[in-house]
Amino acid sequence: MTTSEYEQRIAQFYLNLGYSIEFTKKSYDYGIDIIAANSKQKIGIQAKMYNNGRQVNYQEIMYTFAGKALYGCDCGILLTSGTLMKDAKTVADKLNIAFKEKFVPDLSLLEEIKSGSAENSLLNEIWTKLIIPLKGQEILTKTHKKGNFIVEVNENYLERISSNNKKSKIKYEVFEVIISRFLENKSITRNEINQNYRNLVSSVIFSILSTFPYVAYNDEQKMLILNKEKFLKSLMAGNFY
């Protein structure tokens, strides 16, 4: 992939998320390659297509910081297919410049998700990005009582220790069925979970789903409500946790 192709892919990624896109001049761009804007924010983006282990240095972060100000952006971000040097990360933190390493957006998946296909790929994204990171965490119930400790999450199952200190495993296929229903209906109750899997796991699954971004709890109906559009955008952009 060339530098130009990388920039085009990033631009298309933000277009798919609902932003308008403007490319800066190829020469003397003042550290910003792409400007992405919507009704809420204007983002100055520097794109670095780096191969063969090449790393971004602190100067590129400083250019992004300066370019953000020169173009009147609300925030700046450096996106790279490579990684950042340690001092570059330090400078980014000091200057409040966001960055993503090894970033090559999967446009085909995003387009398929928007068209309502690629369900298996979407479920894998959810499992990888939202459920596997729960390993080693305690998931509280909706009433903030001590809930379940997640011992292990792998490609086949989630293992938890319940509040009464019992250990059990929940297969990936169970989550697959329940999450698919949640995405389709944009809401789910514990009773609906029990209808799909009667093995006293509705509490932990319900609590795990409640940790997802753009999921709200309706106390009156005892139901989780999903803002699907915002959830999918958040999932693909990595804006969670």
Mean pLDDT of the chain: 84
pLDDT at residue number 241 = 40
Residue 129 has pLDDT above 80, yes or no: yes
Give the residue with greater pLDDT, 141 vs 117.
141
How far apart are the C-alpha atoms of 53 and 194, rounded to whole Å?
49
Residue 18 has pLDDT above 80, yes or no: no
pLDDT at residue number 118 = 45
How far apart are the C-alpha atoms of 57 and 55, rounded to whole Å?
6
pLDDT at residue number 171 = 87
Q: Where are the domains of the chain?
A: 3-105, 116-237
How far apart are the C-alpha atoms of 185 and 165, rounded to whole Å?
33
What is the residue-wise DSSP string for 164-194?
Answer: TS-EEEEEHHHHHHHHHHHHHHSEEEHHHHH
Instruction: Work out the number of other CB atoms within 10 angstroms of the CB of residue 152.
Output: 14
11-15, 63-67, 134-138: least confidently modelled range = 11-15
pLDDT band at 152 (very low <50, low <70, confident <90, very high): very high
How far apart are the C-alpha atoms of 239 and 231, rounded to whole Å?
9
41-50, 68-77, 96-105: least confidently modelled range = 96-105
CATH 3.40.1350.10 is held by the domain 3-105: yes
Helix (H) or strand (E) holding 98: strand 98-100
pTM: 0.53
pLDDT at residue number 28 = 66
Please, what is the Cα angle at 200 between 195 and 203, to 5 degrees?
A: 90
Of 207, 171, 168, which is closest to residue 188 (Cα–Cα)? 207
